[in-house]
Amino acid sequence: MLRREDNERLTRVGAGTPGGELFRRYWIPALMSSELPENDGAPVRVRLLGEDLIAFRDSNGDVGLVDAFCPHRRAPMFFGRNEECGLRCVYHGWKFNTEGDCIDMPSEAEGSSLHQRIKIKAYPCIDKGGIVWTYMGPKETMPQPPDYEWMRAPITHRHVSKTYEECNYLQAMEGGLDTAHSSFAHNNNLGSRNEPRLRDRSPRLDVERTEYGYCYVSFRDLKDGNYYMRIYHYVMPFQQFRGGIHKFDGSRRDYPELNGHIWVPIDDTTTYVYNWACAYDADANFGEDNILEREYFYGRGPDQMIPGTFQLKANKSNDYFIDRSRQKSETYTGIEGINTQDFALQEGMGPIVDRSLEHLGSSDKAIVAMRRLMLEAVTDVAEGRRPKGVDPKIHSRIRPYDGFMKTNDDWKEVFAAELTPRW
């Protein structure tokens, strides 16, 4: 279990909170690049770490992320005119560039120098890997931008999507880091006994701390002299790397896929989950049809979203369309879609789960390790030290893998080639 005071330290993300100050030491996703499709296009509302902001792409293609309200009379910048390298408030015409400088103040008398003393809150942004990233912390502690392998993949070999989740980021992330639940919540064929995760439903976990977080490996004994291996990475403060392609008959494919999630706090009780995937062989595994098939399989295809939002149609207001008859005979949960199954359980815990009531077991080793790392990082920031994982050099060369090996082999040797980045 986690003490209530520690739970508060990790789950509260507003400015000035311990958890919020930790997140503000990293580059974090603000929105997807596709949400700002054109220069001088419509501004977009963004809520991030409890702050209301506005994103816009200026005439040069640079992205600005500024306060949602004008510093003059607090008029909403969402209605602003995005024109000639700046966002202009439509109330009195004050105009701001992507750095927050006031570059025009037509409501003031000619010759006034007031504009030189006025700035709007603005956060630096980079557009990389299909995501607009921002840094919301002190300028003096700003690290280099992230450089994960999946971000270096060409656009033809990479896909990013986004889903809204109505709970705190921590319980959402803990669901992603929990490999044991896939044997139960994601058992979509009750009659199957061949899938590795069903042949051994109590995996053994090894967790190895790293400078970016940890690498963790689950061993599932297939009782035939082989292990089914899942080699994951937890990258602080909120990202998971995992291998995504394996055949359940025990064979291995020649074009491994990488995928993962980034759990970004909107505020204390809501989260955006960024889902990324990339593959080395786009023709074999990464065409548009395959992407759509995967998204529908996970329950986050375009038609499965409420139009104009990133929220699933199947949500807690309708009990995720649970089918009790299917639950009896076909699937473990009776809920369609991997993503939707996760959300039902994570959102169903409530906005912020009370971890002081938990009773953890050996399969929770990765979750316990993550909480300890996060609490240590909160302390590091409070005491003026850099937390783990902020330097892109230490996570630019990591990659995950799913595969099979003999029970007496060393996984680091067996999967050495698969764990070597190619981009």
- Concatenate the DSSP letters of all residues of 209-261 into one string: E-SSEEEEEEEEE-SSSEEEEEEEEEETTTEEEEE----TTS---SS-EEEEE
CATH 3.90.380.10 location in the chain: 149-414
Nearest Cα to Cα of residue 268 among 94, 10, 28: 10
149-414: CATH topology is Naphthalene 1,2-dioxygenase Alpha Subunit; Chain A, domain 1 (3.90.380)
Element (H, E) at 412: helix 411-414
| 304 touches 315 (CB < 8 A) | no
- SS3 per residue for 46-107: EEECCEEEEEEECCCCCEEEEECECCCCCCEHHHCEECCCCEECCCCCCEECCCCEEEECCC
In Å, what is the CA distance from 226 to each residue of 64, 100, 223, 275? Answer: 52, 58, 7, 30
Per DSSP, what are the bridge partners of residue 324? none
pLDDT of residue 196: 81
In Å, what is the CA distance from 239 to each residue of 176, 213, 236, 289? Answer: 9, 10, 6, 26
Question: What is Dmax (Cα atoms) for the chain?
Answer: 83
Residue entry with tokens 């939707």: 340
39-123: CATH topology is Rieske Iron-sulfur Protein (2.102.10)
Nearest Cα to Cα of residue 220 among 14, 363, 39: 363
CATH 2.102.10.10 location in the chain: 39-123
Q: How many CA atoms lie within 13 A of 176 on its CB side?
A: 24
**Whole-structure pTM value:** 0.95
Neighbours of 309 (CB within 10 A): 10
State pLDDT tens for residues 57-72: 999 999 999 999 999 9
| Spatial distance between the Cα atoms of 203 and 183, rounded to a whole number of angstroms | 10
Residue entry with tokens 């759509």: 292
Phi, psi of 18 (to 5 degrees): -55, -45
| 375 touches 360 (CB < 8 A) | no
| Spatial distance between the Cα atoms of 229 and 244, rounded to a whole number of angstroms | 12
| Spatial distance between the Cα atoms of 186 and 344, rounded to a whole number of angstroms | 12
24-355-312-190 Cα dihedral, nearest 10 degrees = 130
Residues in the chain: 423
| 172 touches 273 (CB < 8 A) | yes
- Concatenate the DSSP letters of all residues of 140-197 into one string: GG--PPP--HHHHS-GGGEEEEEEEESS-HHHHHHHHH-SGGGGTTT---TT---SHH
* CB-count burial class (<10 Å; 0-12, 13-18, 19+) for 40: middle
Per DSSP, what are the bridge partners of residue 64? 56
pLDDT of residue 1: 78
Per-residue model confidence as pLDDT tens for the chain (423 residues): 799 999 999 999 999 999 999 999 999 999 999 999 999 999 999 999 999 999 999 999 999 999 999 999 999 999 999 999 999 999 999 999 999 999 999 999 999 999 999 999 999 999 999 999 999 999 999 999 999 999 999 998 999 999 999 999 999 999 999 999 999 999 999 988 778 878 889 999 999 999 999 999 999 999 999 999 999 999 999 999 998 755 545 444 444 578 999 999 999 999 999 999 988 776 667 778 888 888 999 999 999 999 999 999 999 999 999 999 999 999 999 999 999 999 999 999 999 999 999 999 999 999 999 999 999 999 999 999 999 999 999 999 999 999 899 999 999 999 999 899 888
| Spatial distance between the Cα atoms of 223 and 6, rounded to a whole number of angstroms | 41
